[in-house]
Structure 1
Amino acid sequence: MSRILMLLFVVAVVAVVVLGVIMFVRASATRASEARAAVADNPREILKRRYAAGEIDEDEYLRRMSGLSQDW
């Protein structure tokens, strides 16, 4: 009988550890995703992507980047 209780205890501990690891990994992935979204919404990053995609030319890129650099 005590072997069965010990086995149940070990299974319960393993289950708690596995659930803890799963929760930690999911939380880390969520934070990383939010950080990437914040960088993607940065006006400078948007401008760089538009220039790289050919949506704007170099003069427009430099003009707008200069405007972003000014302190208002």
Structure 2
Amino acid sequence: MMFWYGHGMNGWGWFVMSIGTLLFWALLIILGVLLFRALVRPTPPGGWHGTWQKTPPGSGPEQILAERYARGEIDDEEYHRRLATLRGSPADAGRPSAS
């Protein structure tokens, strides 16, 4: 019976072991929930809308420019100049000929 108390855990050992076990199970539960949410989450219609967002249909830059032209916010010359800029062509290329 000699050295009986020398081989067991003291109060701090039980405390650290209990906290470590709680943290381990909390980590496992969190990982399980995140994995479940990632696998079950439905993809939005039209594809992935995360980092690489697609522009919703009807709201591209040309559509917005056409809407501004239709409301009368910009004139014919400015509309064709900006449309040519959006399409990457020279400013005179998008303009209808006067003849």
Question: TM-score, structure 2 length as denominator?
Answer: 0.38
Query: Radius of gyration: which is bigger?
Result: 2
Higher relative contact order (CA closer than 8 Å, sequence separation 6+): 1
Q: Which has the higher helix share?
A: 1
Question: TM-score, structure 1 length as denominator?
Answer: 0.49
